[in-house]
Chain A
Amino acid sequence: MKATMIKELLIKSLDSDADPRDISRKLEDAGISYNFSSDFSDKVLSRISAAGSAKVRELEFVKGFNYAFYRIALTGVAAIVILLISIFLMQGSLSFDSFLGLSDSYDESIICLLTGN
């Protein structure tokens, strides 16, 4: 097909009353076609499989992380309970200060250090 005819077809394809199917067929006959490589479909499928296995690995990691978190959290809670019981047995009562290891009286040396007197 001559260049002038191609140009005419291109312009005509944008006419609102033109038949675009007919134009696209004519252009295809003139050798205007766009295709991907012959193994395109296989490449897509292998990328999907790769993405799928990466997703599985990600899920396994999250699952393992959650499991480890539960174990650590349970151990931590058990340690806190044991600490509270031991404080209660030693001091006969439970308070926030005793839980943090603070005594009722202030150490004078700390006050001197902070105030500079």
Chain B
Amino acid sequence: MIRESYRQKDENELVKASINGDKLAFGEIVTRYQGMVARTVKGMLGDSVFAEDIGQEVFIKLFQSLSEFRGEAKLSTYIQKIAINLTLNEIKRRKRFFSMFAQSGNNEMHEYMIADRNTEERKEASEIVDKALRNMDPKFRIVLIMRMLQGYSTKETAEILDLPLGTVLSRLSRAQEQLKGILRKL
């Protein structure tokens, strides 16, 4: 009943209430944006329990930095930036970790070693998307996720990734080339 009343509230009201320590208001923010964060984090890291941990970290980081949110950008953009930063940090951390054990070989494959367990159980469509994402370079993968899973325009993608529009356009074209090569093998 109480949670129901928060569903009606405007985003700015929820942010203000969360800054004042209202956990239920923040819970509503989490509910509204968890799908968006899941697409970014699981798309980048694979569908694993670790991705869920990173998802939680995203919202904890958001809660800690809400007072710094001035409302100049959309809250979704702000959350998306946190999610991207944390997932890219996690990818770097995994690469460092696995490079300590593997002298040679494809680190990208190691990166998904744990996430790969349930691939067989997934539907064909999900399998294609997962394999395509998994084999892409992280800087192209994030562009693909922003477009394909989040449905962002080129301009929105540039804003979220803090990149010039020209760079995003060039990455789109290079990512498309890489994706074509990967999909040909599937």
Contacts and interface: CB of A to CB of B under 8 A. Distances in A.
Contacts of A15: 172, 176
Interface string A19-54: 011111101001111111100111111011101000
A6 interface: yes
B150 interface: yes
B149 interface: yes
Contacts of B179: 10-11, 14
Contacts, number: 120
Q: What DSSP secondary structure best describes chain B's contact surface?
A: helix
Nearest to B56: A44
Contact of A43 (B56, B124, B129): B56
B60 interface: yes
B34 to A, nearest CB: 5
A93 B150 CA distance: 82
Interface in B135-177: 143-144, 146-154, 169, 172-173, 175-176
Nearest to A43: B56
Interface residues on A, range: 35 or more
Contacts of A30: 125
Interface residues of B, number: 47
Contact of A36 (B43, B52, B146): B52
Contacts of A32: 125-126, 129, 149
Nearest to A52: B21
Interface of B: 23, 26-27, 30-31, 34-35, 37-39, 41-43, 47, 52, 55-56, 59-60, 63, 123-126, 128-129, 132, 143-144, 146-154, 169, 172-173, 175-176, 179-180, 183, 186
Given A3-B186, A22-B151, A33-B39, 18 more contacts: A3-B125, A7-B183, A10-B128, A10-B148, A10-B183, A11-B179, A13-B148, A15-B176, A16-B154, A24-B147, A31-B125, A34-B35, A34-B149, A41-B31, A44-B27, A44-B56, A45-B23, A48-B59
Interface of A: 1, 3, 6-7, 9-11, 13-16, 18, 20-25, 27, 30-37, 40-45, 47-49, 51
